[in-house]
Amino acid sequence: MSTAVSPPSALDRSTASPQVDAFFDKRTCSVQYVVSDPATRRCALVDPVLDYDEKSGSIATVSADALLACVKEKGLTVEWILDTHPHADHLSAAAYLKDRTGAKTAIGERVVDVQRLWKTIYNLPGFEADGSQWDRLFADGDEFRIGEMDVRVMFSPGHTLASITYVVGDAAFIHDTLFMPDFGTARCDFPGGDARALWRTIQRILSLPEHTRLFSGHDYMPGGRAPAWESSVAGQKAHNVHLAQARTEDAFVAMRQARDARLPMPKLILHALQVNMAGGRLPEPESNGTRYLKIPLDALPHAVWD
């Protein structure tokens, strides 16, 4: 006979420990998550990946379907589909998963600034740059729930001007801010990025309790090690290679800008942003029934070539 589990009381929701299932996508080195409340079996899907092969222009849903399989296997109900920011290195599967689960989609409210910037780059004058492609836009300090677990939103700019962090009990989903300690920190050279803002975001994340579990949005496996995505506030303070090299804001900005000046753009940035600024919706089919992505030439004139 199973024993019923009571939901957390109002006093201990903020210290709840969510179940986190991670799925690493080797093609883009991205990590997507199923974050669930053990008491209510309700969950959120964080930063889901829509598979895309830029060589053939093919779309697939293997990565997103793995999340749905996890949800089914564990008997979960999807309440939220959460993106931390408009991604430059993979297409978001938020729209695909919303169609299959009916869950609400959300992102940070500053996505409208990203939309305004990129609609100009893509020359899409009719595009609605108002965030209406999502069910909810989160501001700094907003709170909502996954099941009975409280979730707090932290505005986390730097990598992009729209990035946010989701803090769920003892877990924080910190996207492209801090990677695993042996890889360091995120680049800030995309349109709207800011190394000084990233430093301040990192300090805010590191002000969370020392035991807080930090879940990154990517892992690039330095030295050929196995993929990893979970660290802690204490571990980042002690071992992050970039924070060890640059211990002040000015030093960090100089280090980050010097590194970023040598990095080529992600190979999918121009493919992905037009989809991700639309909430993961693919372009509508044209008269022949085929969907087309739009790639502007010389839109990033200072980009480094491989």
Domain membership of residue 298 (yes or no) is no
Give the helix ranges, DSSP H, for 138-280. 195-205, 233-239, 241-245, 249-260, 269-276
Question: What pLDDT is recorded for position 178?
Answer: 98
Question: What pLDDT is recorded for position 16?
Answer: 82
**pLDDT tens-digit series, residues 126-154:** 999 999 999 999 999 999 999 999 999 99
Residue 154 tokens, joined? 């932290």
Domain membership of residue 9 (yes or no) is no
How many folded domains does the chain comprise?
1
Domain membership of residue 193 (yes or no) is yes
Question: What pLDDT is recorded for position 109?
Answer: 98
Residue pair 232/217 in contact (Cβ under 8 Å)? The answer is: no
- pLDDT(102) > 50: yes
Domain membership of residue 26 (yes or no) is yes
Query: What mean pLDDT do residues 70-88 have?
Result: 98
Query: What mean pLDDT do residues 49-71 have?
Result: 98
Per-residue pLDDT band at 15 (split at 50, 70, 90): low
Give the burial string for 155-166 (b: 16+ CB within 10 Å, else e): bbbbbbbbbbbb
- pLDDT(33) > 50: yes
> Closest Cα partner for 212 from 3, 70, 1, 16?
16
Domain membership of residue 102 (yes or no) is yes
What's 235's domain CATH number?
3.60.15.10
- pLDDT(2) > 70: no
Domain membership of residue 290 (yes or no) is no
Question: What pLDDT is recorded for position 7?
Answer: 42
Domain membership of residue 278 (yes or no) is no
> Closest Cα partner for 34 from 4, 77, 5?
77
Query: What mean pLDDT do residues 92-99 have?
Result: 98
Range of the domain at 70: 16-273
Query: What mean pLDDT do residues 201-224 have?
Result: 98
Domain membership of residue 259 (yes or no) is yes
Residue % of the chain over a pLDDT of 70 = 95
